[in-house]
Structure formats: C-alpha cells, structure tokens
Amino acid sequence: MQTAKGSKELLALMNKGIARELQVSIQYMWQHVLWRGVKGFTVKDEIKKISIQEMKHAERIAERLYYLGGRPTTKPEPIMVGDTLKEMIAQDIKDEEGGIELYREIIALARKEGDEVTGHMFREILEEEEEHHDTFTTLLEDL
C-alpha cells in the first residue's frame, strides 16, 4: 500500500535520475574493465567502486519513486565509454555535472512540494556525486 504521492514532475525527474544512474554505473564498470596501462591500473578500482555506488543510487531512487506512486525506468541514458583514458574521464566529468544539476533541481522541487524525505535522500546522493566529480576532475589533471 502506497501512502504518499509525488507530483508528475517530481516522478519524471526521479526517473531521469534513475536512467542517469543506470547509465553511469554501466559506463564506469566498462571503463574499469577496459582501462589499461599504469594510469589505468592505479585508478580502475576507484572507478569500479564509484560504479557500484551509482547502482546503489539507482536502487534508492527507484524504491522512493515506487513509494511515491511511480514506476522506475529500466532504460539507461546513452552510455559513452570512450576510447582513451582522457576521453573516458572527460565524459565522466560531464555526466557527474549533469547529475549534480539534476539532483539540485529535484531537491528544490521536493522542498517546494514539502517532501522532506525525498529532498534529504537527494542531498545525500548529491554529496556523493560531488565527491565523484572531484575524483574525476583530479584524475583528469594527471592525464
């Protein structure tokens, strides 16, 4: 039994967040598999860890979305793995920036709708996304 309802706009944005999280979790995992050389060796486990965190974000968002009356998407945003380490990291930075922007929008809308739980959850996820962004921008400096 669902006891809460989210607005159509909030549910749509949350589903966009799920699609994004699915995208980056797959993207980062394949990057982890494909990275080669000394630089790849030193960071691939960190990228794998981030990939797993992103999948956990997708699960969290999906559970909340379903509670609010929505149906979670199973379709990721387009996956862009890249051919070189530099291409991969540059894409990852863009994807994290897009996530940060989206989650700030969701937080603001949840606040406007009085949904403190959704807002709190996305603030926690946002904090991790900013950490991912910091990791990727730091990695790019050395490539």
Banded pLDDT at 135 (limits 50, 70, 90)? very high
The rounded distance, in Å, linking the Cα atoms of 133 and 48 is: 15
Domains and CATH numbers, the chain: 8-141 (1.20.1260.10)
Identify which of 2-6, 32-36, 89-93 has the greatest average pLDDT: 89-93
The rounded distance, in Å, linking the Cα atoms of 97 and 134 is: 10
What token pair was written down for 112?
A: 């406007």
Contact 26, 76 (CB under 8 A): yes
Model pTM above 0.85: yes
For residue 1, pLDDT beyond 70: no
- Taking the chain, what is the end-to-end CA distance rounded to the nearest angstrom? 51
| 3-class SS letters over 16-53 | HHHHHHHHHHHHHHHHHHHCCHHHHHHHHHHHHHHHHH
Dump pLDDT digits (tens) for 55-74.
999 999 999 999 999 999 99
